């Protein structure tokens, strides 16, 4: 199983590194049943994060034909107000991804039913802005839930939301919980528990999915 984690200019490092380490550890504990790589829409390159001078290296191009799992992070930047059009604001950084090859590649990923697309924090906004998850259940950072809902996505205020081939995480630290849930879903609970113990991190919250009884208002 191949997992690709997407890098784009201005990405949030924790959105990337947290699921990367979780999935990498899962691969080690399964003797290579899962491999994970950092990719970009443009191919191998140094990709600047939105957090100071920190960059990470993409080693390959995002390839929906090869990947079984693709994870899209959010951005790191200024928290913009209603009248803030700063180039280093999170909405501006996410918006610039629409002028790259990323939306087309993500569309190809979403069109492959056997491939799971996952996001951390504002990563779901990238999919929403590209018009790829209208009518789907998803989450994002709590400050962006209303914006996500306004794009036609059914926003859910939960730590992790499972909508079949779309799995989304909330704020930046949810990348740990998202990664562990994906391990449990794809490789089983014993592997997920082993990595959870290795990292001394207990998953937070219930993974929401549209199953079971609906609470009475």
Residue 77: band (very low, low, confident or very high) from pLDDT cuts 50, 70, 90: very high
**High-pLDDT (> 70) share of the chain, %:** 97
The bridge status of strand 60-61 relative to strand 55-58 is: unpaired
Q: For the residues 99-115, what does the mean pLDDT come to?
A: 97
Q: What is the pTM of this model?
A: 0.96
Q: Tell me if residue 78 falls in helix, strand or coil.
A: strand
Ordered by where they begin, the domains of the chain are 2-78+86-208 (3.40.50.880)
pLDDT attached to residue 31: 97
Residue-by-residue DSSP string for 25-52: HHHHTTTSS-EEEEEETT-SEEEEBSST
CA distance 65 to 61: 11
Give the Cα separation of 56 and 45 in Å (integer): 9
Q: How far is CA 67 from CA 44, 97, 109, 119, 139, in A?
A: 16, 20, 9, 15, 23
80: pLDDT confidence band, cut at 50, 70 and 90? low
pLDDT at 122 over 90: yes
Say if CB 64 and CB 70 are below 8 A apart: yes
Instruction: For residues 116 and 28, give the distance between their C-alpha atoms in angstroms, rounded to a whole number.
Output: 21
Which residues contact residue 163 at a Cβ distance below 8 angstroms, ignoring those fewer than 6 apart?
136, 137, 138, 209, 210
Distance CA(139)–CA(156), nearest Å, equals 5
């Amino acid at each position: 199983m191949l997992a690709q984690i997407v890098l784009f200019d201005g990405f949030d490092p924790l959105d990337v590194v947290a699921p990367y380490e979780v999935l990498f550890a899962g691969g080690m504990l399964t003797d290579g049943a899962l491999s994970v790589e950092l990719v970009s829409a443009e191919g191998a390159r140094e990709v600047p994060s939105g957090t100071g001078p920190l960059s990470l290296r993409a080693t390959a191009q995002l390839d929906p034909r090869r990947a079984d799992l693709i994870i899209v992070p959010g951005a790191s930047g200024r928290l913009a107000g209603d009248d803030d059009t700063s180039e280093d604001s999170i909405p501006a950084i996410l918006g610039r991804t629409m002028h790259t090859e990323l939306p087309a590649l993500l569309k190809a990923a979403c069109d492959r039913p056997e491939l799971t697309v996952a996001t951390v924090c504002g990563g779901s906004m990238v999919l929403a802005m590209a018009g790829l998850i209208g009518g789907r259940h998803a989450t994002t950072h709590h400050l962006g839930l209303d914006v996500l809902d306004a794009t036609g996505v059914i926003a859910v205020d939960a730590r992790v939301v499972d909508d079949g081939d779309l799995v989304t995480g909330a704020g930046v630290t949810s990348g740990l919980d998202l990664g562990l849930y994906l391990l449990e879903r794809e490789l089983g609970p014993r592997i997920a528990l082993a990595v959870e113990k290795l990292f001394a991190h207990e998953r937070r919250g219930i993974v929401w999915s549209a199953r079971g009884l609906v609470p009475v208002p």
